[in-house]
Amino acid sequence: MKKKILSIIAILLVVVGVTLIFTVAIPKTEYAKDSGDTEELFRQNVASVGYENTIETAIPQTELYNIVKEHFKSPLPEGKTEKKAIIIGYDGCRADVLKEMRDEKSAISMMLHDGASINLAYCGGVNCPAENAQDTSTAPGWCSILTGVWADKHGITANSITKSLEYKTLLTTLVEDGTIDNSTFITRWKGHFDKKNATYNDEKAYCEENNLNVSFNRCENDEASYEYTLNEIDKKDCADFIFVIYEPTDSTGHNYGFTINNPRYKEAFQMADYYGAETISQIQQRETYETEDWLIIITSDHGGFGTGHGDASIQERMTFIVTNKEIDYE
């Protein structure tokens, strides 16, 4: 009996010991204030990614609105019968962490191998915070991408503000003007359209009241968003415009630190990029893929610094645009 008790105590000590080692090895706050996350190092890491432009010539994230509109307005290439588009968002993904992309199971690597363009972009308004000021946060960032304007027009300066209908998103306008038949918004974050003061509450209601074929779908977690997106793409008549947000980078950054020096953050990026790779693979497996003209975009709403974002540091402002179409921006 004594030996049995001693054995149980020994096992418990091992379990406690492993737990303590893990806790000490990677504490939650280890990268909350990373002294090594300097602007100089950020610029060096960004330069090593292989972007086609520089931080000084970064593209405003609002330009994505024009890229999508132009895609649907342009003539169909020879042999193509239908246009479709998808924006795959990596929420809170910094521009420098792309240097950690894997060779396999990486949407960005996959696209670059096929000749995609990769450019730096910026959020927060022009000359942030002096002009068109808005937080480098989730709601303002995605809203600027979807409306093509900054907060001085769309009104979303921060999270927890409901957007008016003066500047509707691409999801609604493209369906409303008959450019496409349907669109879908897929996300796990309640702040977009599933709680009081959510960004798109009024636009969602507007689409429902006017019988517009625009669906707003909130999933429980990133895995569910990923599966929902694959199921949508698998439909013969999948949405003409799909907007999906994967959030491992943002949630990990808030919990453990937005920095390339943080192994958890790098792994979160690789997970988001895996979701992206499988999403693109699902598109390429469509029976009608060869006759469809797809615009595929991977981007982010904002970066991060410490365990947050919202300010105007270069780590928070710089984002990126990866697309299978050429970007004509001057």
C-alpha span between 132 and 58 (Å, rounded) = 16
User: Which pLDDT score is estimated for 328?
Assistant: 84
C-alpha span between 227 and 72 (Å, rounded) = 26
User: Which pLDDT score is estimated for 189?
Assistant: 93
User: Which pLDDT score is estimated for 36?
Assistant: 86
C-alpha span between 23 and 29 (Å, rounded) = 11
User: Which pLDDT score is estimated for 21?
Assistant: 31
β-strands 82-90, 241-246: how paired?
Answer: parallel
User: Which pLDDT score is estimated for 257?
Assistant: 95
User: Which pLDDT score is estimated for 7?
Assistant: 40
User: Which pLDDT score is estimated for 133?
Assistant: 75
Which residue, among 247, 248, 229, 249, has the nearest Cα to 239 in the 3D structure?
229
Contact 173, 153 (CB under 8 A): no
Could you read off the pLDDT of 283-303 as tens digits, one per residue?
999 999 999 999 999 999 999
Could you read off the pLDDT of 31-40 as tens digits, one per residue?
666 668 999 9
User: Which pLDDT score is estimated for 1?
Assistant: 44
Strands of the chain (E only): list them. 59-60, 82-90, 117-122, 183-187, 214-218, 241-246, 292-299, 318-323
List Cβ neighbours of 17 (8 Å cut-off, separation of 6 or more).
none
List Cβ neighbours of 235 (8 Å cut-off, separation of 6 or more).
none
User: Which pLDDT score is estimated for 119?
Assistant: 98
pLDDT < 50 positions in the chain: 1-26
- ω before 27 within 30° of 0 (cis)? no
Which residue, among 228, 235, 245, has the nearest Cα to 190 in the 3D structure?
245
List Cβ neighbours of 254 (8 Å cut-off, separation of 6 or more).
92, 304, 307, 308
